[in-house]
Amino acid sequence: MRVLFIPWSQPTHYMPMVPLAWAMRAAGHEVRVAAQQHVVEAVKQSGLPVMPVGLGYDFLPDYQRINDEMARHQREHPQQGVNRAERPDVPPEVLKRALEAKFAPFVRTATAMAADLAPIVRDWTPDLVIANSLAMAGPLVAELAGAPFAHHLTGPAVERRLGLFPGSGAPPEIWADGIRGLYEGHGVDVRSEYAVATVDPCPSSLQFDGLPHRHPVRFVPYNGPGEVPAWLWERSARPRVALTWGTTTTQLVGEEGFLVPRILKSLSALDVEVVTTITGAERELIGDVPDNVRVVERLPLHLLLPSCAAIVHQSGSGTMLTSAALGVPQVLVGVTMEQLDTGAHLASTGAGIALNGSTTGPDAIADAVASILDGDAVRAAAGALREEIQSQPSPAETAAALEALVS
């Protein structure tokens, strides 16, 4: 069987797909990944073959401008955005106009990817297409190949729950003209749903209800390759606390949203060892660090976290699920709507504390860490969440279930 994976154009959206892709490969299937430029290297590092597509368009500048506007709105209205589980009750024509600008980078990405993928799937015809919800070329490619299509979620399905995203339940009348024209131009009918399966790495306690054709899969932490440093094997005399701001958050929200230096200063008052993982570009933003801080570049979280008593992070779904799968209590500091939603989901399980980065100071973040270290409740809830994740079907079992859909 030939299986085509299409991740959204950020490495963090590809990484949750890797365990399932390798399960498919280990089962003897031919697996390929179609990816834009920002993801190509991540695919190579994961050991899977990549087909670079859509290289004529870089979504990032457009996406940054839109994200800046949303972040500014969130700072001005900090109480909005938490668990925004329902689509606004506005007329479709009004909603459609509002979504045109917001979806522009996704439409242009889908157009660029489809231009390369359409001829590819005529020669290398996949039997199954699996794509992130944001990769709107996925359903189109599956239709052109005559193959079953599956969505692969990366966390709580905010885009599906809102009912606004084309191909993820959004009614055709609110589709952006660009994406509607792309589908119709290829002779593909526009409809609200295409997926025969929704691969979900979130356990039920972290997910919205009512996902169609849900196939739960155990979240297996994968954050890219890396070396295991010798100090990770050393027993720390003090509790170890991880601090990460993700691989793309700073790039998207700018230096103003890079809270790491202020958080490090507040954590220096605690009797802990802090390990902060950063990218090379962020090192200059940190400056001098307190004595109890170790700065490391690109150390995969799945290597670091088993030695940690807690983690502070930007409330990205990949970091949240990696921490949850390893049973580490979390302090989530979100700013964007998606981050706040992710934090609210995790906090509802008791396995962490969710804070609004627009209204919360560094001292409150340190207080949250101290409360986790001083008590047992969050640690116990994190352990229970880890057990729930471990009870989900393995990637191999989910691969077999998807194979049966094709058969």
Dig out the tokens for 360 from the structure: 């919360």
CB environment 100-111: b (16+ within 10 A), e (fewer): eeebbbbbbbbb
**pLDDT (mean) for 217-233:** 93
Q: How far is CA 362 from the centre of its chain?
A: 25
Dig out the tokens for 378 from the structure: 């969050």
Angle at 34 between CA 28 and CA 36, to 5 degrees: 150
Angle at 282 between CA 279 and CA 286, to 5 degrees: 130
Does 274 have pLDDT greater than 80?
yes
Using DSSP's 3-state secondary structure scheme, residue 243 falls into strand
Which residues are bridge partners to 35 per DSSP?
52
Give the sign of the dihedral formed by CA 92, CA 163, CA 139, CA 117.
positive
DSSP designation for 234: S
Element (H, E) at 293: strand 293-297
HSE value, Cβ hemisphere, 13 Å, CA-based, for 57:
18
Does 173 have pLDDT greater than 70?
yes
Q: Which tens digits make up the pLDDT trace of 294-337?
A: 999 889 999 999 999 999 999 999 999 999 999 999 999 988 77
Q: Letter for the amino acid at 68?
A: D
Classify domain 230-390 by CATH architecture.
Answer: 3-Layer(aba) Sandwich (3.40)
- Structural domain boundaries of the chain? 2-219+393-406, 230-390
Who wins on pLDDT, 175 or 287? 175
Q: What does the pLDDT read at residue 250? A: 55
Measure the CA–CA gap between 197 and 393, rounded to whole angstroms: 15
Dig out the tokens for 211 from the structure: 């996902």
Q: Do domains 2-219+393-406 and 230-390 have the same CATH topology?
A: yes
Does 87 have pLDDT greater than 50?
no
Q: What does the pLDDT read at residue 201? A: 97
Lowest mean pLDDT among 139-148, 168-177, 251-260, 280-289: 251-260
Q: 2-219+393-406: what fold?
A: Rossmann fold (3.40.50)
Q: How far is CA 272 from the centre of its chain?
A: 29
Backbone angles phi, psi at 192, to 5 degrees: -75, -30
Q: What does the pLDDT read at residue 252? A: 56
Q: Which tens digits make up the pLDDT trace of 114-135?
A: 999 999 999 999 999 999 999 9
**pLDDT (mean) for 4-13:** 96
Lowest mean pLDDT among 89-93, 176-180, 252-256, 353-357: 252-256
Does 91 have pLDDT greater than 80?
no
Who wins on pLDDT, 291 or 26? 26
Q: Which tens digits make up the pLDDT trace of 77-86?
A: 655 554 444 4
Does 249 have pLDDT greater than 70?
no
Measure the CA–CA gap between 271 and 292, rounded to whole angstroms: 8
Q: Specify whether the CB–CB gap between 335 and 71 falls below 8 A.
A: yes
Does 236 have pLDDT greater than 70?
yes
HSE value, Cβ hemisphere, 13 Å, CA-based, for 220:
15
When pLDDT is cut at 50, 70 and 90, the band that residue 33 belongs to is very high
Does 260 have pLDDT greater than 50?
yes
Predicted TM-score of the model (pTM): 0.92
Computed over its alpha carbons, how large is the radius of gyration of the chain? 21
Does 103 have pLDDT greater than 80?
yes
Distances (CA, A) of 364 to 65, 320, 353: 30, 20, 11
Backbone angles phi, psi at 161, to 5 degrees: -65, -35
Percent of the residues in the chain that have a pLDDT greater than 70, as a whole number: 91
What does DSSP say about strands 330-334 and 310-313: parallel, antiparallel, or unpaired?
A: parallel
What is the 3-state secondary structure of 75-104?
HHCCCCCCCCCCCCCCCHHHHHHHHHHHCH
Does 242 have pLDDT greater than 90?
yes
Measure the CA–CA gap between 145 and 271, rounded to whole angstroms: 58
Measure the CA–CA gap between 29 and 158, rounded to whole angstroms: 31
Residue labelled with tokens 């399966």:
197
Q: What does the pLDDT read at residue 280? A: 67
